[in-house]
Amino acid sequence: MVSEKLNLWYCDIFVAQPWQFFFLLMALAGAFFYGRGQHKLGWILIGIWVVVTITFSALTNFVFTCNLE
């Protein structure tokens, strides 16, 4: 079980803030570089975005309880 302090910190820092939009910019940068012919850098940025997004989604859905009312 996650402590209340850690749960509150995670919900305040990662769920209530616009971090997901900054990570979306990483995916868009990867698509930009891929379109410019720099396929390796593009796939690296897109891959990092996928891993980070899935990790934060799993943490938010299965580990932490965030009530943003």
Q: What is the pLDDT of residues 39-66, one digit of tens each?
A: 999 999 999 999 999 999 899 889 888 8
Q: What percent of the chain has pLDDT over 90?
A: 48
**What gap in Å lies between CA 17 and CA 58, rounded to an integer?**
17
Number of domains in the chain: 1
What angle separates helix 19-35 from helix 39-58, to the nearest 10 degrees?
160
Decide if 32 is inside a domain.
Answer: yes
Mean pLDDT of 17-41: 93
Decide if 67 is inside a domain.
Answer: no
Q: 68: which 2 tokens?
A: 């943003």
| pLDDT score recorded for residue 68 | 63
| pLDDT score recorded for residue 69 | 61
Decide if 36 is inside a domain.
Answer: yes
Write out the residue range of the structural domain in which residue 18 sits.
4-60
| pLDDT score recorded for residue 45 | 96
Could you tell me which of 32, 30, 22 has the C-alpha nearest to residue 46? Answer: 30
Residues with Cβ within 8 Å of 44's Cβ and at least 6 positions away in sequence, in order, are 30
